[in-house]
Amino acid sequence: LISISSLLLGTTITISSSHWMMAWTGLEINTLAILPLISNPHHPRAIEAATKYFLVQAAASTLLLFSSTTNALLTGQWDITQLTHPTSCLLLTTAISIKLGLVPFHFWFPEVLQGSSLMTSLLLTTAMKFPPITLLLMASPSLNFTLLTTMAIASAALGGWMGLNQTQIRKILAFSSISHLGWMTIIIIYNPKLTLITFYLYCMMTAATLLT
């Protein structure tokens, strides 16, 4: 109950904040709330998945905080929509890509999903992607387009190719998620609302597959 309510709280804080520090706080609450759920069946695979998830997400959150702090130092702005410094934009694009699991930062995602239960996998592929995607939407004008486009194309291609080679449902869904995220991040440059529609559709399809 504490984990689920903390998940809801973390997501709400992130998606409703306009200050970078609050957004970061929400992401951290989210990360800490999902860890007991990943390691719930007390099994070495689950513990390994939880450790990998924690390390990756903590690194990404630190990078996000570093990018926003750099921007605040150089421009005096903490507002999410006012990220203007090129270095900060580059760091933020990288941080959110690590959080989402875009290529080339995708290696953790199939491993974590494979070590989790099906219900936790559903949370990881849908609910845990929502706060970073919201941040991506809010900061979309200030992202590094070249880097984002490169990662999006690589994700769409690699997600499809790697998914063909799998026999386990969770790994197929992990690579499907990477591929879909590639499409979502490339659309965000041109039409952010389409990204949200794609994300909702993806959540519905994934939920249907994993619940079955």
User: Which string of DSSP letters, residue by residue, matches 127-149?
Assistant: GGGHHHHHHHHHTGGGS-HHHHH
For residue range 27-62, list pLDDT tens digits in order: 999 999 999 999 988 899 999 999 999 999 999 999
CA distance 99 to 61: 8
Neighbouring CB atoms inside 10 A of 107's CB total 12
CA distance 75 to 69: 10
Segments in 17-142 forming alpha helices (H): 20-38, 44-75, 86-100, 108-115, 118-125, 130-138
For residue range 86-102, list pLDDT tens digits in order: 999 999 999 999 999 99
Q: Taking the model in full, what pTM does it have? A: 0.93
- Per the structure, the count of domains in the chain is 1
Q: How many helices (H) and strands (E) does the chain have?
A: 10, 0
- Structural domain range at position 16: 1-211
Write down the pLDDT at residue 142: 87
Q: 182, 152 in Cβ contact below 8 A?
A: yes
